[in-house]
A and B are shown apart, each in its own frame.
Chain A
Amino acid sequence: MISLLIAIPLLLAFISIIWRSLSKPLFFLASFTNIVILITSWFPNGVEIHAMGNWKPPFGINLVFDNASFYAALVVNAFFLLTSLLPGLVGNYGIPLMLLMAAANGFVLTGDLFNSFVFMEIITITAVTIASKKENFYNAFKYLILGGIAGSIYLLATIFAYASTGSLNMAHVSMAGISSSSLVAITTLYAIGLGVEAKLFPLNGWVSGVYGGNDLAPVILGTSVSFAALYMVGRLFGTVFHGNGAEVLYTLALITIVIGEVAALRQRNLLKTFAYSSVAQAGVVVAMLSKGTGTAMGLAYFHLTNDAVAKFVIFLVAGFLVYNYKNLNGVFKKHKVLGASFSIASFSLVGFPLFAGFQSKLRIIMEAFSMKDYLFPSVMLLATLIEVGYVVRWNVKLWFEEETQEKAETPVIASTLALILALVLITVFIKPDIFLGGAMKMGNALADTKDYIQGVLSVVKGGM
């Protein structure tokens, strides 16, 4: 069943190469079916695997379906579904989006290191295609180069892992005793290889250009793909390598937070400002992931979910504004619904009470304190202070400055979607369990290596 999550979008992508005009409805169909599949197999609460070609693990490639990959796949596909509801945004990019969806699902579900490399490469290539929308070629090229380097380093890490354990299966690698010096090499290379997609400093040079270059790229790359990449950070460093190399991630993450926020502060371009903000939020998530406990990782993904929902709204609104108005002063006076959604999402980003971000930020600070980490909360609060600066500045500019231009047509679907998601953010403040429950299950599943190994290596289910 779960292999369908990859197969359906892949198949529909190839069909729409023949019938190009069908690509938009087929994209919607693919994401809708995926969500339906996921809903029918709600939280497996155990480890199910799908061994390709019935090769028993650790031989052959297998897909792993546990609480962690379920929740990640759910979030990833949910944002694809939301994107597919916006035909204006999708444009001619239905096929790359479907390929991206297949790759992202594969990346999340796979239990094989080399296989994850393959999916990562597909993600990079399709993401670059999407990034080149609106003739944003140079920035897409930058992304391609960086993504390529990241891919080769990821591959190198996989080769090292294979050389020292003789296996590519994640469960198998995690139980094999790797000598400490090879472990250093492997985890370092994985940290760098994933660091590019996870937007860690200084590997995140591509982010502002790609997110700021068109309206589609940030909406899908800043939500789904980010989530998939950060899921893999948790899977590799939490489950497979038992926190080895966590201090590298932690250090890079703290630098990323500060760098991302100061870069966002100086930014005068709306899309790029929030691109840098998503860099900083990725830093927060990675810092929490590096702590390695189930609770910490769960909170990290709770924060990431909140951030992704908020970013979806922000990028959706910002993309509309940037490509319809030359001067953004006071545009929200004409688009009150978009404006209210944007404000709610951006306030949630800062972590003001009444919005979802408050729940995750406070929990994260509390968890860090309970682990006697005094540095991370202070960095995070400093970052939030800078965030307040630019979030308020943009809100004030977009709402209150003197308006100058004619009104552009209000995008009805986008407004409705943005408003619904904004209301979701408020609901999550009141009932955090909507996201928190799943995220905590995900974090616990990632932290529980023993269960993972046992599930993968002893139970065989499915087959093709």
Chain B
Amino acid sequence: MAMSTLLVSLVATSVVMYFISKASWKIGAILNFLIGIFLISYVFALSTGTTSELGTLFGQKLQLIWTNASYYFSLVSLLVIVSVMLFAIKWLDSQKYPAAFNMFLLMMTAGSLGVFMAADLITLYIFWEIAVLSSMLIVPMGKKESRKAAVVYAVMSASGTYMYLYGAFLAFQRYGTLNISEIAKHMVSDPSTGIKATIFLLLASAGIAKSGIFPLHTWLRIAHGNAPDAFSAVLSGQLVKLGSYVLMVSVAALPSLKIFSNIPFYSGIPATNYFLIALGATSIIIGTLMAIKQDDMKMLIAFSSVANGGYILIGIGTMDPIGFEGGVLHVFNHALAAAVIFMAFASVVYRTHTKKISELGGLIHKMPITFLAYLFAIISLAGIPPMSGFISKWMIYQALVRKGMFITAFIAFFGSIGSFLYVFRPLAGVFLGQLPKKYKDVKEVSPIMWLPMVILVTISLIIGIWPFPILKPIEGMRMDFGIAPTMKIADSSHWLIKGFAGNWNPVLVFNLFLIGFVIAYILYTLFPRPKKVDLLAPHKKEGAPINIYTGGEFIYNPDLYQYNTKFYAGFERMYEKHPSWEKLLEMLAKFFYDLGEWVHGWFFRPSPSAYTFWVTLTILIVFWVRW
């Protein structure tokens, strides 16, 4: 099937899916999942270089092309989407709009694939908008706050999108083509740096808005935090990667090193790229610090997505061979980790109906599989071996050190350590600690819900041990974009990833970890088990001993001593009174409201005599100007 046929029929099928799901949402969800499986096989079967044509729009051909980048990004997206589709087969019974969810999820899949296949800027825009529109209509299916979230999401995404559109037409007006590779050629030979930089930044803004890079990052907290729980996995794991893709297009597919070779800023990196790297670094700081202080577990990971978007942008922005590969690999790692984490949270919310960390605790014994999935996902997210998350961060650090970018490197390390803090907060608050009384009957979710999490975590672990299958298309991408094409980084015959300061052997590391784990397990079995203390015993039985106390006082009300409220209070106090970017953007929105109020008051509300006055005044002014 040609790519164009596939995309068009997917959009059409999604509408049919609504009516199927209206009859039975379960059948709809299963069909969605099967379509997803088919799409994965389709993606595997397609060979790079295949082109397809979608039609013509105002004399411009809408073209699709299958490249290494399309393969890689489509595969990552589909892994996340298909997992959520499987998850949804059971999870949807807790939702109010299952039919519309199925429809828009499928439509969004079509839109996302279209973005990755697009060979020109307008095709990219069309599918981009389809993906945004359909995802924007899923967001308000959540709780009450999600209504506002949808509006914020739509507006912030649109602000980036329309800047992109302006840039695309600016490029078209100057170079007479919309085809990305042809624009790249024209840009290299274009002498005007100002216009090139304008086009570059305008195109990149769509990616900045979508992947949650400062200053357009605030919608992530609101939208990812309030969207329907399982859909947050798609938002954070897949949709923000559309933004990373556009950033990659504007930095690498339009070869920024060549285009802006006349404005080097630092260590061979052009000023334009460095600007993006600075935004990425700011996102890491903001994302990390804000994630640490969230009590809402979904918002916490939403901010973590801001920080991780920063890593991806920094990696790609350096245009260093190893940094680029690290940034692109981080797309995969973060997609899988964020998807699993949000699905784990969705499972917790599915059972407990709350997403506040301070109201939860001790679910490890009730939901052990969810806990394990979450644990492995955060290990990957925090960048600890042997999970795959380590490899991409390691590669990014290599590039930063090699380029001598010490400030950025410092920020990246800071973000990494900060991520230990914030991923630990839900771990300790939700899964460890005391189990609140009301959750004593909570059960593990059904296999349909935990299976996708387990699959993704397993993939992430396998890639952590043997990353070469996923590094192959990334190396292919790097060759396509001409970033040091003679250099070889992934050396699968020696089981090595070659860095600048030393190599990384993932198999060896995994074996070391395995040995450590075995030793730890042996010690665990040799030493006595901890004793379980029932805090509530004194409440239940008169005269039962109170056998837990703190600060010299017995605890009569265990809920009060739940340590997951104000978890990092001491640390948070250090930046309690930070300036809020969200408020600043709210002020901007308020400005437009007030402008509307002012316009209304002056021109639209008044009496007929005032209207007459305005008419007269206009005549006078126009005459005065024209005479």
Contact = CB atoms under 8 A, between A and B. Distances in A.
Contacts of A189: 619
Interface in B133-179: 133, 136-137, 140-141, 146-147, 150-151, 154-155, 158-159, 162-163, 165-166, 169-170, 172-173
Max chain A Cβ within 10 angstroms of own Cβ: one of B133, B603, B604, B619: B604
A263 B614 CA distance: 17
B58 A263 contact: no
Interface stretch (A19-27, A235-243, A389-397): A389-397
Nearest to A184: B626
User: Is the contact region of chain A dominated by helix, strand, or loop, or is it mixed?
Assistant: helix
B611 interface: yes
A181 B279 CA distance: 55
A386 B592 contact: yes
Given A353-B129, A365-B165, A389 B151 contact: yes
A328 B266 CA distance: 57
Interface in A142-200: 142, 145-146, 149-150, 153, 181, 184-185, 188-189, 191-192, 195-196
Interface stretch (A72-80, A309-317, A376-384): A376-384
A366 B172 contact: yes
A399 B97 CA distance: 11
A388 B155 contact: yes
Contact of A145 (B599, B608, B617, B622): B608
Interface in A200-256: 201-208, 245, 248, 252
B606 interface: yes
B627 A184 contact: yes
Nearest to B111: A353
Contact of B611 (A142, A184, A369, A374): A142
Contacts of B604: 204-205, 207-208, 263
Interface residues of A, number: 65
A354 interface: yes
A391 to B, nearest CB: 8
B608 A141 contact: yes
Contacts of A191: 622
B150 A263 contact: no
Interface string B82-110: 00000000000000000000000000000
B622 A396 contact: no
Contacts of B30: none
A265 B600 contact: no
Contacts of B162: 381-382, 384-385
B130 to A, nearest CB: 6
Given A263-B599, A384-B162, A392-B150, A203 B140 contact: no
A208 B605 CA distance: 9
Given A353-B130, A369-B172, A399-B140, A205 B619 contact: no
B593 A369 contact: no
A369 B596 contact: no
Interface of B: 11, 57-58, 122, 125-127, 129-130, 133, 136-137, 140-141, 146-147, 150-151, 154-155, 158-159, 162-163, 165-166, 169-170, 172-173, 589, 592-593, 595-597, 599-600, 603-604, 606-608, 610-612, 614-615, 617-619, 622-623, 626-627
Given A248-B622, A385-B158, 10 more contacts: A191-B622, A259-B599, A259-B603, A262-B599, A354-B130, A362-B57, A366-B58, A381-B163, A389-B154, A392-B155
Q: Closest 7 A-B residue pairs measured CB to CB?
A: A266-B596, A145-B608, A262-B596, A381-B162, A392-B154, A202-B614, A388-B158
